[in-house]
């Protein structure tokens, strides 16, 4: 049986949406104060999110958090204060064009992020909802996105399929992409509405290992907080894995602890109990 230590973990990594961020789109002042106190005592706190870099950095700066942020499900690590990229592992232009042409042929909504700008050639209710919730900058173009990417040879941290909650669409994409792309990619059905595509070796868990090296912290003192299936890889590398009460039931079955929900400041309470 794993020994869970209190006042021990000094590297704390949290997912953002549904974990640190409440269902009302807020992070409480008390949570921020707890994180800042943790950092002042020598701890390292980082958000690890599927969001685009520009979106999450602006939010963290407004919240008064400092240090590093992992974005695009592990494709980038940046300094919150300056936006400087210290790690980057993007989908290549050729891979993006393949994925985009597949989406275009099947009329699937696919989001890509060249130069950290969400680029589409149309909008609909689902895309508008995503833009509103993510705070992403939108680049609306008048040509096929695949042609735009090919012409400019842009890369992207990830590609995101919007499945509209349709399990038939989800199943088709998850079956087709490995055949179309081969085994060099990490394809994650992160929730009912999203499928994320990254380069192989790009995941939250893989990039957290890199962040631990950058910060000089031990993985043996790593605690991770998450709520959805795209958090699985980081929860599996944690010395102490914590899923929120509002989180995915499959994660709760094997994670070390279940903490209070994002609406009940579960991350804050866990940092107070388990971290230095």
**Closest listed residue to residue 170, CA positions, set 231, 97, 108:** 108
Interatomic CA distance for residues 221 and 213, integer angstroms: 13
Q: Note whether 207 and 268 are same-domain residues.
A: yes
For residue 217, being part of any structural domain is answered with: yes
Provide, rounded to the nearest whole percent, the portion of the chain with pLDDT above 70.
100
Domain boundary at 153, 173, 199, which? Answer: 199
Interatomic CA distance for residues 204 and 88, integer angstroms: 13
Q: For residue 98, give both structure tokens.
A: 């393949």
Q: Note whether 180 and 239 are same-domain residues.
A: no
The predicted structure's pLDDT at residue 95: 96
Q: How confident is the model at residue 1 (pLDDT cuts 50, 70, 90)?
A: low
Q: Note whether 101 and 83 are same-domain residues.
A: no
Q: Note whether 74 and 210 are same-domain residues.
A: yes
Quote the pTM value: 0.93
Model confidence over 119-164: pLDDT tens digits?
999 999 999 988 888 878 799 999 999 999 999 999 999 999 999 9
Query: What's the number of domains the chain is made of?
Result: 2
pLDDT at 216 over 90: yes
Query: By mean pLDDT, which of 57-61, 153-157, 187-191, 234-238 is the weakest?
Result: 187-191
For residue 164, being part of any structural domain is answered with: yes
Q: How confident is the model at residue 50 (pLDDT cuts 50, 70, 90)?
A: very high
Crossing angle for the helix pair 29-40 and 266-274, nearest 10 degrees?
30
Q: Are residues 54 and 35 in contact, defined by beta-carbon separation less than 8 angstroms?
A: no
Domain boundary at 199, 216, 233, which? Answer: 199
Q: For residue 27, give both structure tokens.
A: 């992070």
By three-state DSSP, how is residue 162 classified? strand
Structural domain containing residue 33: 11-89+203-274
Residue with tokens 């009329």: 107
Q: Note whether 116 and 186 are same-domain residues.
A: yes
The predicted structure's pLDDT at residue 137: 79
Mean pLDDT over residues 227-252, rounded? 96
For residue 125, being part of any structural domain is answered with: yes
Rounded to the nearest 5 degrees, what angle is found at the Cα of 144, between the Cα atoms of 138 and 145? 45
Interatomic CA distance for residues 261 and 258, integer angstroms: 9
Q: Note whether 270 and 195 are same-domain residues.
A: no
Q: Note whether 151 and 176 are same-domain residues.
A: yes
The predicted structure's pLDDT at residue 26: 96
For residue 174, being part of any structural domain is answered with: yes
H or E element at residue 55: helix 53-63
H or E element at residue 148: helix 145-152
The predicted structure's pLDDT at residue 117: 92
Mean pLDDT over residues 255-264, rounded? 98
Interatomic CA distance for residues 123 and 239, integer angstroms: 42
Domain boundary at 150, 165, 199, which? Answer: 199
Model confidence over 61-94: pLDDT tens digits?
999 999 999 999 999 999 999 999 999 999 999 9
| 169: Cα separation from own chain's centroid | 22
Q: For residue 62, give both structure tokens.
A: 């407004």
Mean pLDDT of the chain: 95
The CATH number of whichever domain residue 154 belongs to comes to: 3.30.1240.10
Q: How confident is the model at residue 192 (pLDDT cuts 50, 70, 90)?
A: confident
The CATH number of whichever domain residue 20 belongs to comes to: 3.40.50.1000
Q: Note whether 100 and 181 are same-domain residues.
A: yes
């Amino acid at each position: 049986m794993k020994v869970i230590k209190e006042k021990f973990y000094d590297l704390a990594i949290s997912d953002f949406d549904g974990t640190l961020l409440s269902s009302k789109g807020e992070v409480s002042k008390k949570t921020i104060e707890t994180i800042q106190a943790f950092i002042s005592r020598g701890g390292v706190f980082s958000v690890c999110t599927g969001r685009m870099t520009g979106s999450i950095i602006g939010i963290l700066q407004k919240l008064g958090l400092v240090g590093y942020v992992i974005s695009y499900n592990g494709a980038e690590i940046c300094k919150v204060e300056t936006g400087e990229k210290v790690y980057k592992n993007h989908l290549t232009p050729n891979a993006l064009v393949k994925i985009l042409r597949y989406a275009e042929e099947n009329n699937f909504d696919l989001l890509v992020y060249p130069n950290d700008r969400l680029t589409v050639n149309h909008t609909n209710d689902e895309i508008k909802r995503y833009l509103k919730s993510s705070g992403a900058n939108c680049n609306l173009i008048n040509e096929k996105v695949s042609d735009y990417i090919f012409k400019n040879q842009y890369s992207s941290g990830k590609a995101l399929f919007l499945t509209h909650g349709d399990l038939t669409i989800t199943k088709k994409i998850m079956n087709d992409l490995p055949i179309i792309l081969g085994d060099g990619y990490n394809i994650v059905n992160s929730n009912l509405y999203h499928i994320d595509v990254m380069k192989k070796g790009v995941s939250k868990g893989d990039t957290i290992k890199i962040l631990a090296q950058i910060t000089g912290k031990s993985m043996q003192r790593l605690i991770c907080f998450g709520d959805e299936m795209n958090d699985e890889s980081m929860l599996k590398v944690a010395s102490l894995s914590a899923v929120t009460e509002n989180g995915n039931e499959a994660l709760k079955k094997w994670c070390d602890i279940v903490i209070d929900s994002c609406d009940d400041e579960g991350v804050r309470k866990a940092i107070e109990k388990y971290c230095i």
